[in-house]
Every structure is written in structure tokens, then in C-alpha cells.
Structure 1
Amino acid sequence: MRFRNPAVLTATLTILLSAASAAQTETPESEDVAVAAPTSDADSQNPPAPPSTSEHTNPSEDARDRIYYPGDTENAKPLAKKLVFNILLDQKEIWTSPFRMNRHDAMWWALFGGATAALIATDHKTINTFENSPQQVSWGNHISNIGAAYTLLPLTAGFYAYGAVTHNTQAREVGVLSGQAMLDALIVSTVLKYAAGRVRPDSTTGERSQFFDRGDSFPSGHAIETWAFASVIAHEYKRYGGWWVPYVSYGLATTVSLARFAAQRHYASDILAGAGMGWFIGRYVYQTHEYHAGHPHAWAHPAIYPQFDPTTRTYAAAVQFGK
């Protein structure tokens, strides 16, 4: 494999790191937690009052809090509006992340970039790992259809629809966040494909593996979208004790990625780049949503606390709005 420009490898990896490193953007690990002081028996009869309206307007509220997805089912128009604005904020974070990367993040992305560079250098050999028979290419194409956008996006819509009908908050959240992550991944992969311009392995019109030659091989779109979807699913359900979910979701993503390689549609480096960026984008979307779940809008989530007064042997329930 030859490069038209001696700096092509460096440029390609720079684009790769720029698109993916946003997932490593750190968020505060903890927030100040107010601890209630002990109360007397008489106080237990009086439920705490909800915070005043002035407490709801917190100076720390940011743009994400104003477009936070609620726990209840939303109408299509406001939900779509919030989805669009969240994606715009995601893209801003993704493409500006290299300017905010710390030393620890830079080390990991240097390793990732080095692995991708090593695969790029050996792609002309590894692409012939399999027999590459017509039957292999055919089943590879069929299996990889599982990871196509026209398959995964309706699946994310199904998650949300199921959650809306059954009042399942988690299913709704999975539907919205996985859709957001996939659309983020689709935008990133489209930009990188045009920027890298790498010719596909099965191309008959250009020099195979060549960069900047009007191709669209790097990175793998199926890999980045499937891994973004799988990452959200794994992080979401693992939180509730679904230890087996990551194995299933990542297993599916791996199957799709290998199928694209078997179908002669991508080189190994295309798949690694797409898989890595997809996983980090999915994690970024999930963690960003979870972090903002504790921001000022959380006052709208009520909590009920049972109370008992031993002197009068009476029971009461205190409703407090706050997280």
C-alpha cells in the first residue's frame, strides 16, 4: 500500500482521535449532598415542604439541563426538538475535544491510534486472511445487515414505543439514548469517510486501500453505529444487574463487525476505528445523560417518606420533591 501524501497516516489518525476523544471528557464525580439534621418527635408530624421556586433556578444549570429527557413519555415534537439539540451539543463536544484532552486521555488515545496505524500498515495482508469466496462474501453481507442504520434505528424506536405503552422508564431511556448515540455516530462516520476518502477492498474503480481517493471505507459505518448502540444498551442494563447484557450486545456488535470484514467491505483498521469510536460515543451519551440527571431539574421527581410519631401512635407520609 502506498500513500499519495507522506503525511496521510498522521492526518487520518488526527481525524480519528478528534472524533472519538470527546467520550473521555471528564465530568465531576460527585456533587455536594445536603445532610438533614436530626428532628424531634414533634417535627415528624409535619412533612417537609417542597423547595421554593427560587431553588429551582440554579446558576449551575446549563444547556443540557434545559433539554433533559424527562422520566415520562413526551410528545413527538418536544422529544424530537430535545434530541436535535442534544446531538448538536454532542457534536460540539466531539469536534472540540482535542483541545480539552488531558494527559491521561491522550495516552489512551495514542495507544488506540497506534493500534489503528499498525492495522493500516498491514491491511493489504490481513484482507486476505479468509478465502474470500462468493459464498463468504454473500453471507457476510447478509449478516452485516443487522448493523445497518435502517435496522437499528427502527429498533431504537421500538424500545421507546414499548416503554411508552408499558410505562417502562428504562426502555424509553434506552430508545432515546441509543438513537442519539447512533445519530452522533452516523454524523461522525460520514464526515470521516469523506475526509479520509479511503477506497474499499472490493472497489473496482480505484486503487484499493488508497486514502484521499474519493472512497468511503474508513471508518466502518456499520461498526461505529452498532457499537454505539451496543454501548448504550450495555451501560444502561448493567446498572440494574443485567450482567449478561454486555456480553449479548457486544457479541452482536462483534458479529456485525466481523461480517463486514468477511464481506470484503472493510479493512481491519476500518473496523477497529469504527468499533472504538462507536463504543466511546455510546458511553459518552449515556454518562452525560446520567450526570445531568442529578442537576436542578431533578426537583420534579417526588420521593415519599413514611413517618411515625410514637407519642401519639400516628402514621404520616412526607412527600419531598428532590433527588
Structure 2
Amino acid sequence: MKIKQSIERIPGGLMLVPLFLGALCHTFAPWAGKYFGSFTNGLISGTVPILSVWFFCMGAGIDLRSTGTVLRKSGTIVVTKILVAWIIGMVCVKFMPPGMIQTGFFAGLSTLAIVTSMDMTNGGLYASIMQQYGTKEEAGAFVLTSIESGPLVTMFILGSTGAAYFEPRLFVGAVLPFVIGFILGNLDKELRTFFGSASMTMIPFFGFALGNTIDLAVIGQTGLLGILMGLAVIVVTGIPLFFADRWVAGGHGGAGLAASSTAGAAVTNPIIIAQMIPEFEPIAPAATALVATCVIVTALLVPVITASWCNYMKRKTEAQA
């Protein structure tokens, strides 16, 4: 059976399929972890420790000795993505109520959900799109998107916009595994290869554990709103990324469009941040469901939009030749 190949045909499948299975488990058998206990409970409830290992491996896999083109592309994508999310966060803090909207069509919407859905690019999706439609340098530009992984950027945006207050030690704790991995990976090439190769292996495990925090009934309640949020992520982040790629990174805009997605790892941030700040706990489930829907929507649409634009530019270039 070619299970892995079948899963990989789904955009972001290595993350989304285990997440869906975990959500099924939580929805229909929420007692399973405590009932079986031991290692099974650890696998079901181990989102944070599994993610901490993943952050470490992600950091270890980054090589500082990348080409200037790759770093310029990476830097443009990361800075633009974070800046847009920060501006949106400022707008949300000014015009949205604290916590989340409680009633009506927008029930469940919060600054936490909006910022989390917009501040991280799906690096794996980006790399796979650019490997098919872009240059080798553009495909390699996902290297710095790993910096966005984890709650650090979300914490920075929420803290700097006044949506939340984080003690300095929490910032250190959020980034420390990543930094240690980064240092070790750049001190020893063999360690970079060893730990870096494990980052993909960890994805299904934290996907399943994360799914066990999601009630599918919540996704059903926020489904249409989540779909609209996913479309908003593509439009709101995609337009600035498109022009940043053209004007700053020297591309034709395809790499910017390919980066206008919500990272699968972003689904973890509401829960992690709620563990740091208890007042976010009531809104974390709805925020997680909305972000998960954004991941699915952007994973399906971003490749189609990027492919259409890249093919258009290719035909245009060939016509001018």
C-alpha cells in the first residue's frame, strides 16, 4: 500500500490528515487518552513536547551559508509577511472587542485567530510550488521561513500591538529550542543533517496531538467564517508579498503568491499561547478551528493561483523571445 504517496497528494497532507484523525478521536472519544494512559496518552496529549523537539530540529536544519539570492528572497518573504500581520494586528486591537466576538456570523473571531492565520508561511507548500514553477533560488527561499515557525512571532505581534503582555522569560522559552538547534546545526554539518532530517518525521505526530485539541463541532460552527478567513489571508498577505517579490526580491511575483498561505504549524499557536496567558484559554479552541480551516483553504488555493500566474508569465516571456 502506498499510504504516504496518497497522503502527500493532499496539499499539506502530512500535517492535515493526522490532524483530522486526531480531531475525530477528540470529537468521538475524548476520554481515549486517559483511558489508555501511558504512551498512548502521551501521543494524544503531547502537543507541546512534540513541538519543542520539532522546533529544535527546524533550527538545526537551517544553514547560514545560503546564497545571497536565497537570503534576499527569504528575507523579503519573512519581513513582508510579519509586517502585514503586525499591521492587521494593530487594526484588530483598535476596532475589535477584547477576547473574541461572541455572537452573530463572526462569533469566534478574535485578534489571536487573525494574527495567527496571517503571520506564518507554509514553508513546505511554498518550496514544493516553487520547485515546480520557480527557479532553484526561489525554491530555496523557504530557508528563513523557519524563523516564523512556533509562537515567537505571534507573541511579538500580540505583545507589540497591545493585545497581550508576555514576560520576557516566555519569549526566551519560546525561541530557546530553535536557537540551540540552529547553533548546533551550524557548528556541525553532521548534526544539521541528523536533526534536520527529523523535522519532517515529527509533523504527523504533532499534527495528531494537535488534532486531539479540536472538536469537529467547532469547525462546523466556524466553517464558512474560516473559509472567508482563508480567502482573506491570500488577498491581504498575497498582494503585498506579490509586489515585494517584484520590487524588492527581483522576481515576477510568483514567489510572493506562493508564500500567501497559512502554515500548518500556525494551528498550534493559539493553544500554546493560551498555556502562557490563561485569559486566552476560552478563545483558543475557536481560534484553533479557524486557523485550521485557513490552512486547508490556502493549501488548496495558493498552488492554483501561483501556477496560473507563473504559467502566464512563462507564456508572456516566450512570446517576447
Q: Do both share a fold (TM > 0.5)?
A: no
TM-score norm. by structure 2 comes to 0.29
Question: Which is strand-richer, 1 or 2?
Answer: 1
Determine which structure has more spread, i.e. the larger CA radius of gyration. Answer: 1
Q: TM-score, normalised by structure 1?
A: 0.29
